[in-house]
Amino acid sequence: MIEMSSVHHSALRHHGEETYPHECCGVLLGHAAEALNRVEAVVRAGNTRTDSAHNRYNIAPQELVRIQREARESGLDIVGFYHSHPDHPAQWSVTDLAEAHWMGCSYVITSVERGVAQQTNAFRLTGEGEDDKKFKDEEVRVVSAAAS
């Protein structure tokens, strides 16, 4: 399960609406556990795939290094990533799996149709490594901002 406040849930969905018809991407910071990844912050990232932003995203490693450093200073970890699928279901693709390497992290995908966010789904990357990695459907628990 991945848990986040309604504010964070709205933020990552709204990011996809802003970048439509291009894919948005970002990093989820918080606290990781086997059964529950809890999101404490949503950090927007730049999509370096300006050559094909309508169906590809990539976060520059240098930006990830900076985000991870700032997270560490705040006592947080990288617990997942989010991106959007313009005019496509919120389901992971072959490309999403091929490019996923953060085992144990949550990959959150939002379908954005004609500029409006639709479904937001999450998938936990499981496995020991590249040979047996797979995405498993993950429940998204959205809590009110006051309760989180």
Partner 1 sequence: MKIHIPTPLRPYADKQATVTVEASTVGQALEALTSTHPELKKHLYSDGGKLRAFVNVYLNDEDIRYLAAKEATPVKESDSLTIIPSIAGGRPSISPRGKRG
Contact residues toward partner 1 (CB under 8 A) are 23, 25, 27, 32, 49, 52, 55-59, 61-62, 64-66, 68-69, 72, 77-79, 81, 83, 85-96, 98-105, 107, 109, 111, 113, 118-121, 125, 129-130
Instruction: Please give the distance of CA 131 from its chain centroid, rounded to a whole number.
Output: 22
Task: Please say which residue, 82 or 146, places its beta carbon nearer to partner 1.
Answer: 82
Shortest Cβ 64–partner 1 spacing (Å): 5
Shortest Cβ 3–partner 1 spacing (Å): 17
Q: Which of 60, 57, 58 is nearest to 88 (CA)?
A: 57
Shortest Cβ 2–partner 1 spacing (Å): 14
Given a contact cutoff of 8 angstroms between Cβ atoms, the answer to whether 1 and 141 are in contact is: yes
Whether the CA torsion 107, 1, 43, 144 is positive or negative: it is positive
Task: Please say which residue, 136 or 145, places its beta carbon nearer to partner 1.
Answer: 136
Task: Please say which residue, 79 or 144, places its beta carbon nearer to partner 1.
Answer: 79
What's the Cα-to-Cα distance from 44 to each of 61, 109, 121, rounded to whole Å?
A: 14, 14, 18
Which residues, including other chains, have CB under 8 Å from residue 127's CB and lie 6 or more apart? Answer: 103, 133, 134
Task: Please say which residue, 11 or 63, places its beta carbon nearer to partner 1.
Answer: 63
Shortest Cβ 68–partner 1 spacing (Å): 7
Task: Please say which residue, 5 or 90, places its beta carbon nearer to partner 1.
Answer: 90
- Burial (CB count <10 Å: 0-12, 13-18, 19+), residue 75: exposed
